[in-house]
Amino acid sequence: MTREELLTKLKTIIAPYVQNQEKFKNLNENTDFINDLEINSANLVDVVLDVEDEFDIEIDNDAMEKMLTVKASLEVIENKLALK
Amino acid sequence: MIGNDIVDLQFAKKQSDWRRKGWLQKIFTTIEQEYIVSSKDPNLTVWKLWSMKEAVYKAHQRYLRLSPKFNPKDFECMLGGKVNVGGYRYSTNSEITQQYIYTVVKPSRNGYYSSVCNKDINVYHALERCICQGLKIIAPISIQKDANRIPAIYIDNKESNILVSLTHHGAYSAFMFSIENEISIT
């Protein structure tokens, strides 16, 4: 899977939790889930669970604690996919 | 160190399905999950523990100047309100109403002032007014956030020693502040 494809899938996953649509339109790798997209912190868990389901990977605590930005999340997904 | 967190219970119900498979396990330790399933009101316990973790997260991040992390499981809550994280222990106090759960981390030495506002009230203005009246300050006050998004109070454009913490969720906002010395506000 290319980075582009990963990004598209990630965007679909986070869409339902986004509260700042303006920032979502201009999403890039540096976009921050909480500060930019205003995703509620309790919904970050849903993002993590949705990512696990979508990519059939397991995200442990060490990986989860990094998943606050688009870039960090893509890296976590890539690392976990490479281990499969 | 101070920190606070509010959970709008109606809003939480709409936004989060904590009964979703795997949800509790990602956030809560085995002991906390026990507290939840064995409590009279599991829903209330979920959100109470969550707000304790969030409030202590803010205090702890600020105390150690840590960069942001999503590590709710590292904050181990006890039923009496104590929370342990990385060898540190914090005391919290939670106010539970029909509408919200509001948790504050109590500063160890100093007094503090804390208030919950409706969303129609501008929480920044309420905070500024409260500081001006409580501390009898007439100079202009502003609130600015640092690189880690921790708010600080500026009096006459100079950073003050007033610690402040803000929280928003759904229809509610809240603020708390504390200074070096005991404060009393009428």
At B8, list the tokens: 């709008």
pLDDT value at residue B94: 98
Residue of A40, A47, A67 to mutate when probing chain B, most B C-beta within 10 A = A40
Cα angle A24, B9, A64; round to 5: 50
Residue A62: which H helix or E strand, with range? helix A61-64
d(CA B64, CA B62): 6
Written as one letter, the residue type at B116 is V
The contacts of residue A29 (CB under 8 Å, 6+ apart) are: A7, A69, A70, A71, A74
**pTM for this prediction:** 0.93
d(CA B141, CA B150): 16
Per-position pLDDT tens, chain A of length 84? 899 999 999 999 999 999 999 999 999 999 999 999 999 999 999 999 999 999 999 999 999 999 999 999 999 999 999 998
- Out of B15, B68, B149, the one facing A43 most closely (by C-beta) is B15
Rounded mean pLDDT of B107-133?
A: 89
Q: Is A35 on the interface with B (CB under 8 A)?
A: yes
A79 burial (CB, 10 Å; 0-12 / 13-18 / 19+) is: exposed
pLDDT tens by residue, B40-52: 999 999 999 999 9
B186: confidence class by pLDDT, cuts 50, 70, 90: very low
Residue A29: CB atoms within 10 A of its CB come to 13
Q: Is B145 on the interface with A (CB under 8 A)?
A: no
The interface pTM score, or ipTM, of the predicted complex is 0.93
pLDDT value at residue B183: 46
Rounded mean pLDDT of B14-21?
A: 96
Positive or negative: CA dihedral A63, B84, B18, B62: negative
Cα angle B92, A48, A38; round to 5: 65
Q: Give the distance from residue A17's alpha carbon to the nearest chain B alpha carbon, in angstroms.
A: 8
Rounded mean pLDDT of B4-31?
A: 97
Q: Is A83 on the interface with B (CB under 8 A)?
A: no
d(CA B25, CA B155): 44
pLDDT tens by residue, B150-168: 899 999 999 998 999 999 9
- A67·B26 Cβ contact <8 A: no
pLDDT value at residue B150: 86
pLDDT value at residue B1: 87
